Amino acid sequence: MQATTAPSATCFVTVTPINLAVTPLHINAVYGGDASHSSSTSNTVNLTVTARSTSTTITCVPSPVNTGSQATCTVTVTDTDVGGFIPPGGQVTVSSSGAGTFTGSPCALNGTSATTTCQVTYTPTGTAPRTDTLTANYAPATTHLTSSGTFQLRINQQVVTAGHAKLIQWRAEAKFNPNDLRRNPTQILRAFGLNDGTVTVNVYVQFAITNPDGTTNTIYTQVVSLQPGQSINGRLDNRFTASFTTLPGRTNVTATIFYSSVSSTIGDVSFTPDTASAKTFSFNMLGVRTDEINFEDDITSTSQSFDVSVQNVANIDLVSRIDITIRQPDRSTTSYVSDTLLSQSGQNGEIKFIVPLTGPDGTYCFTATVKYGIDTNHNGQLDNNEILGTSGRQHDCFSADTDDAPAGSIIAPPMTIAHVSTDDCDD
């Protein structure tokens, strides 16, 4: 206490609040007295305690950063208030305006000075270049006020070498033996691929198939990983094969290899087709076999008979018919379609088709084709939309004396006589 000659004396003390939970802070003075004076207690002063102000900054390296790569972000919180300092404690949460993931957020501040720090990592995602705003929000302990800071992080699109692969060869299993076809109509497609790029890629082959009946389907090989310069041969490795059940007739196939350096899922958008090496090919699965179409070379009649043997060498029931176009001596033409022969797998049959000759005497020429298919319309006929293939196409001519036909001959409409035998066809 400072001595004085006046009736009063004064002294000074410094008060430093350390707990925001105690506010207002109640302060009073207690005088202990001396030999000449008794003790006494002052009035109470209520001191309002406020938190200390802070500033928050955040910086990230590297900047710019590629998508998919990490940037390390350091957050700094500083006690900016007057009258000394208290190390800022608590946590900082970091967020981003763009797509990405954080590791270590929120982070706990460390330090014993007026400035404390913590770190998080940020991994931007996406494909387009951009600038992300990273915001650090300081959540203090009881001694400090909140604050925040931002950082503009430039994001570059990561350059990914997509690699490359190409289709070298294809192969469809040759199926010419009728017994094999009847036992197993499965066709196996084999591919030969090569990684001619500089990075490892995943590859598969897509086979786009157009069936003899006009329907389409798509099948795939397995996905195989190829290192630069590595190849895979479907003749030796079944992973590069695909199979499907064939129909009789001609099947068309387009084979395309797809490659990706990042995905192993068929159909993923990262897979790129190598259209330059795509292969288009076709193969024929036997339906029916036919002998030569029999007819009479020189007739005196108003009709001609065409006779053909038909063998069902497919694995399913088929219906067959004869289509004939006849050119008369006057060069006019007439077309006829026979009724059908239904034959089961392995059966022999015969179609005899008698057609009228409506022209004068002279040379008649014809084109005859045996067509076959499946009676999907269930009407007992081979409609044009059911045709799968043809066999036994023949072009020939004959002489006809229609004027000298036997007395009473008439021009009869077309007639078909079709029957099957009980014997299986020969191989």
Q: What is the pLDDT of residues 108-164, one digit of tens each?
A: 999 999 999 999 999 998 877 899 999 999 999 878 999 999 999 999 876 554 577
CA–CA separation, 20 and 143 (whole Å): 6
Domain span including residue 80: 54-156
The residue with greater pLDDT, 351 or 3, is: 351
CA distances from 207 to 28, 175, 188, 236 (A): 93, 19, 11, 19
Residue 9 lies in a domain: no
Give domain status of residue 69, yes or no. yes
| 321, 337: one domain | yes
**99 and 19, same structural domain?**
no
Are residues 301 and 262 part of one domain? Answer: no
CATH number, domain of 381, equals 2.60.40.10
Residue that is last in its domain, among 156, 185, 210: 156
- Residues 99 and 36 placed together within one structural domain of the fold: no
152 and 187, same domain (yes or no): no
Buried b (16+ CB within 10 A) or exposed e, 408-418: eeeeeeeebeb
Tell whether the model's pLDDT for residue 90 goes beyond 60: yes
Q: Is the pLDDT of residue 190 over 50?
A: yes
pTM for the full model?
A: 0.53
Whether residue 97 is found in the same domain as residue 32: no
Task: Indicate whether 420 and 292 sit together in one domain.
Answer: yes
Are 218 and 333 in the same domain? no
User: Does residue 125 fall inside a structural domain?
Assistant: yes
- Domain C-terminal end among 235, 253, 285: 285
Same domain, 240 and 202: yes
For position 20, what pLDDT does the model report?
Answer: 60
1 lies in a domain?
A: no
* pLDDT tens digit sequence for 213-249: 889 999 999 999 999 999 999 888 999 999 888 888 8
User: Is 2 inside any structural domain?
Assistant: no
Q: Considering the domain boundaries, does residue 10 fall inside one? A: no
**How many domains does the chain divide into?**
4
Query: What are the DSSP E strand ranges found in 51-160?
Result: 54-61, 65-66, 71-79, 90-96, 100-103, 107-108, 115-124, 130-140, 147-156
Q: Is residue 381 part of a domain?
A: yes
* Residues 420 and 294 grouped into a single domain: yes
Whether residue 348 sits in one domain with residue 246: no
Average pLDDT over residues 276-299: 89
Position 216 in a domain: yes
d(CA 37, CA 28): 19
> Same structural domain for residues 371 and 272?
no
